Amino acid sequence: MSNHETSETKPEVITLFGATGDLAKRMVLPAFWELHTRGLLPSDWRLIGNGRGQVSDADFREQVKESLAEFGPGEVPTNQWGEFASRLSFAGGGFSVDDPGELPAALAEASAELGEEVQRIFYIALPPVAFEPTVKALGAHDLMQSARVIFEKPYGTSLQSFCALDELVHSVLEEEQIYRIDHFLGKEAVQNLHVLRFVNRMIGSIWSCAAIEQVQIDVPETLGVADRAAFYDATGAFRDMIATHLFQVAAEVAMEPPLSLGTEDLQRARDQVLARFRPLDPGEVVFGQFDGYRELPEVADDSTTDTFAAVRLWIDSDRWRGVPFLLRSGKRLHRSRQLLSLVLRAAQGPFPEARRSVLQLSMSGAGELSASLTMKKPGPELELVTVPIELDVTALGGPSDESLPPYASLLHDVIVGDRSLFTTGAGLEHAWSVAQPVLDDPPEPLPYAPQSWGPKAADELTDGVGWFTQA
């Protein structure tokens, strides 16, 4: 959660494992380019791509440029590209305990160019199955001294696999060296939750079960699984979105006020509320699978993978006693949104017919804040009308110019050593403990038509309130 100003940092040597993979092309490399064009990288840095194949530096640079054209800003300005490209290189031959390939020599060469005080960052943009051998190889080749290591999610796929992975990682690294990235925590709007709640007393005063009836965190997607079918069929919507991203967003919403927004205080507040998440009841979980999913290449004809998941989560704290947190996400749905809705309790007294008010925060882009209020309609009769009030955050001084995309924001935090928006081992252990009952006894996925809102059974989780994304 650094302030995005250029920081005086050590020269950086960044190794990107999986540099020619889909994640690197779509997210990681455009994020580095964003930081470069903003002047937010150290004055001296190198980025070394790593992979099994042999790729020349020139070819790797061309691949990066193509990635930026497709997933980044589009056409890359020549006057900015030259300096950026000159810092890119590729070390092939793979990387394992038995054979480190070209990477150690490339690291030594880059370090010699930049001087003795070099900060090493290793970004593991690989499938989770590759985390273990990569960590073992980093330890075996003695590359972990003062290094920072970024792990993509999912960090484990169950409580048991998480514990095994975390034990291995801590045998090689100190906790302070570990950056478990969850790009939802890097979203401008999610970070703005802290300011919205802790600075604005008008909002903070209603942030509890006294005023809030339920919390909805809803991330429907119109997209399918495209070329991620093999990964997705082994993961599913529940693991891919609910047990990872949306649990973390729920913790941001539900945490008690931290003593400060420093790393230790913020992580402690997040972990403490995660520890109060009640293990999920499979009877309060709905899975779905869109029609036609099994016909996709790399998907088994009898696949039971969930492409839709909705859960009702309870938090055993005084602040949230009795308030359901409803989390939903899925593929091939009617509309794409990333929406947090705080549903306020129905009016008491002389206006029982008044609709519930709702405070909503969009988690996409810079974020938009909206609220629905009930007012008297002008005229001689006492007629109530719901009035929407919207605040476009892009009007607050140009965040389109100032804010960073989530991956760029979090990469910048790694560079300056700010771990406040990264998950801890303790927090993730709590999260997997909450998810494990569903992993042990998953509900049968219900079929749903593409471009629908998913299985109707998910509506029952809202106790008649309905999903506000569909309103």
Give the span between the Cα atoms of 192 and 263, in whole angstroms.
16
Q: For residue 389, what pLDDT band results from cuts at 50, 70 and 90?
A: confident
* Catalytic option among 36, 170, 194, 245: 245
Domain-embedded: residue 364 = yes
* pLDDT tens per residue across span 11-40: 999 999 999 988 999 999 999 999 999 999
Domain-embedded: residue 90 = yes
244-248 average pLDDT score? 94
Same domain, 143 and 220: no
- Of residues 292 and 366, more confidence is placed in 292
Which of 67-81, 271-285, 287-301 has the lowest average pLDDT? 67-81
Domain-embedded: residue 172 = no
Domain-embedded: residue 170 = no
Q: For residue 374, what pLDDT band results from cuts at 50, 70 and 90?
A: confident
357-375 average pLDDT score? 82
Consult the annotation and say whether 52 binds a ligand: yes
Q: In which order are the strands placed within the sheet that holds 119-124?
A: 88-91, 45-50, 12-17, 119-124, 148-151, 178-180
Cβ within 8 Å of residue 454, ≥6 positions away: 220, 286, 288, 308, 310, 328, 330, 333, 448
Same domain, 205 and 91: no
Same domain, 93 and 189: no
Q: For residue 395, what pLDDT band results from cuts at 50, 70 and 90?
A: low
Same domain, 254 and 369: yes
Consult the annotation and say whether 377 binds a ligand: no
Q: What is the CATH number of the domain that holds 432?
A: 3.30.360.10
pLDDT at 399 over 60: no
Q: For residue 400, what pLDDT band results from cuts at 50, 70 and 90?
A: very low
Consult the annotation and say whether 271 binds a ligand: no
Same domain, 448 and 393: yes
The count of domains in the chain is: 2
Nearest to 290 by CA among 442, 457, 459, 450: 450
Q: For residue 110, what pLDDT band results from cuts at 50, 70 and 90?
A: very high
104-128 average pLDDT score? 90
Same domain, 264 and 316: yes
Which of 131, 152, 173 is the endpoint of a domain? 152
Same domain, 120 and 225: no
pLDDT at 354 over 80: no
Q: What is the pLDDT of residue 301?
A: 93
Give the span between the Cα atoms of 339 and 247, in whole angstroms.
14
Same domain, 127 and 208: no
Domain-embedded: residue 20 = yes
Give the span between the Cα atoms of 193 and 214, in whole angstroms.
17
pLDDT at 106 over 90: yes
Q: What is the pLDDT of residue 193?
A: 85
Domain-embedded: residue 355 = yes
Domain-embedded: residue 94 = yes
Consult the annotation and say whether 226 binds a ligand: no
Q: What is the pLDDT of residue 1?
A: 56
Same domain, 106 and 190: no
Same domain, 189 and 122: no
Q: For residue 188, what pLDDT band results from cuts at 50, 70 and 90?
A: confident
Q: What is the CATH number of the domain that holds 142?
A: 3.40.50.720
Give the span between the Cα atoms of 219 and 393, in whole angstroms.
20
Consult the annotation and say whether 331 binds a ligand: yes
98-117 average pLDDT score? 90
Q: Identify whether 245 is a catalytic site residue.
A: yes
Consult the annotation and say whether 23 binds a ligand: yes
Helices and strands, counts by H and E, the chain = 16, 15
Domain that holds residue 74: 12-152
Same domain, 448 and 348: yes
Nearest to 453 by CA among 117, 220, 248, 202: 220
Domain-embedded: residue 250 = yes
Consult the annotation and say whether 240 binds a ligand: yes
Same domain, 299 and 442: yes
pLDDT at 8 over 60: no
